[in-house]
Structure 1
């Protein structure tokens, strides 16, 4: 739904804009340049902009956790009015509406819903759906528990996921096996999602799961944890008892602590984004805390937000930016308009097309921003 917005935490909108700018503009253009120019410097830089195959973590692996983290940061601010007025019924309507919309948008973006082909529809396979699950878990905790209770349940979810993957085993899956084909989260997705899992092909011999190894169902426990770490950051940022500079210090300190614990935990349970291990959850959330501290200090404490205001064009319409990038092929339009330039640009033609394509997304977002209209769910 398109809504006008009220006062918001400026650093959060700018950080969200930074995340979406990397996703829908910077990385696509950089990747196109690297493919066409085969430059050593670009190829080295691209290591940070390609997901690791399994174990490990690079900058590009942060995009999804950061998106989810920021959804959590905004929740204490968004829920404050409802909780103060004790209007939980209307709040739950808002929550379920948002979860449903995010789920449908996720199926549109990556679940092949628009293909109208039942055999190619995938039920749970997208960042927006991970946000929906994390948001639902976090919303329930935020409504019914105080901060201490939220911390306890979040720790239980984090440790519970670790315990299940470490100690539970069925049919050769699990019991501390964190390999792509034999971890317990993989088993749960295959058994429950089955035909509706992303990457699946139906053959005469049964289901072929191919090389797709992202997990979603059991990993939802830690999706909730990732969003909850954002909620805790939101509690810090929304506190009237902590000075602005100390808010940045607290965020930075907790971020460093989470990174340290995540790295230590990774010695037993590897940092693996595709199955959202508990070590990865802490490690990525620690980086999110540090980025939130940096952006909050620069934008809200030092008042330098005007230098980054253009990022808010992405941040204020992040869902729309994600959907446009995922489902609209702007490159076809650019090819149609400028195909004659290929003979002159040579290897630079494809990067030119990509640059123009992602610039069109920015133009659409700019138009909506100028009219103060934003896609809200």
Structure 2
């Protein structure tokens, strides 16, 4: 939002993935601290339902496009984007990502992850934990698909059906990695990802300050990758990510973990 310019005329409200994570964590933290498991499940369903009800049944009007019937979900013509426009201006520059109303979806997604953690923490026995995770995944996929027939899966709006569909696959992946690491003890299969996950914040900062196409990477790898002809882009990005992983591995071996 141009905050560091120190010029009030240039500053503006701004949202991105970090804001989505923050709002999701805030909602999930409140639910975890003050609600029982059953009410946590109910709160998750409530967040998804409220978002659907608002987007589906509230009509709106925009001077630029005129009146729009309830349930309109076209790019640039839906209630979530209109609300963002009125409260934050035109900072999005045509990206068509929703943020304010989509916080219902952000919160529900984080709650579904929290409930996955509750399964691992509270259910006893490997078999039962895997069964619960697989059932949760199948249930989310089925409900998400059924809901998409009325409320389509739209990532830029973080619709309720998209949240359930994504969570369903995440439950399956959680079950898979739990099976590999906690049940079968095949930690070597996941070591590559553990090195990355242990310093996820550092990776986020790295790619922001030194993007793959930035000058730093080009100085190191551009000339070398050009030796591979048509595969130059693949080799360039492979070298870039190998460098990042090497730095992360060095930090991992030295027990250097950057956390909030």
Asked if Structure 1 and Structure 2 have the same fold, meaning a TM-score greater than 0.5 normalized by the shorter chain, the answer is: yes
2:229 to 346, 353, 372: 346
Counterpart residue number, 2:59: 169
Counterpart residue number, 1:276: 158
How do 1:1-377 and structure 2 match up within 5 A? Answer: 123-171=13-61, 172-173=67-68, 175-195=70-90, 197-199=91-93, 211-239=94-122, 241-329=123-211, 331-341=214-224, 344-377=227-260
| Contact map agreement 1:165 1:184 (CA 8 A) in 2 | yes
CA distance in 2, matches of 1:112, 1:362: 31
CA distance in 1, matches of 2:222, 2:46: 56
- More relative contact order, 1 or 2 (CA 8 Å, 6+ apart): 1
Q: CA deviation at 1:324?
A: 1.3
**Structure 1, unaligned runs of 5 or more:** 1-110, 200-210
| Contact map agreement 1:298 1:305 (CA 8 A) in 2 | yes
The 3 A distance-change label for structure 1 pair 216 and 343 is: closer
The 3 A distance-change label for structure 1 pair 259 and 116 is: farther
| Contact map agreement 1:174 1:184 (CA 8 A) in 2 | no
Q: CA deviation at 1:142?
A: 0.7
**Structure 2, unaligned runs of 5 or more:** 62-66
Q: CA deviation at 1:264?
A: 0.6
Helix, strand or coil at the partner of 1:269: coil
CA distance in 2, matches of 1:156, 1:122: 31
| Contact map agreement 1:162 1:278 (CA 8 A) in 2 | yes
RMSD between superposed Cα atoms in Å:
2.3
TM-score, normalised by the number of residues in structure 2: 0.89
Q: CA deviation at 1:306?
A: 2.3
TM-score, normalised by the number of residues in structure 1: 0.62
Q: CA deviation at 1:125?
A: 3.2
The 3 A distance-change label for structure 1 pair 345 and 158 is: same
CA distance in 2, matches of 1:307, 1:346: 32
Q: CA deviation at 1:112?
A: 6.6
Q: CA deviation at 1:116?
A: 7.8
CA distance in 1, matches of 2:245, 2:258: 15
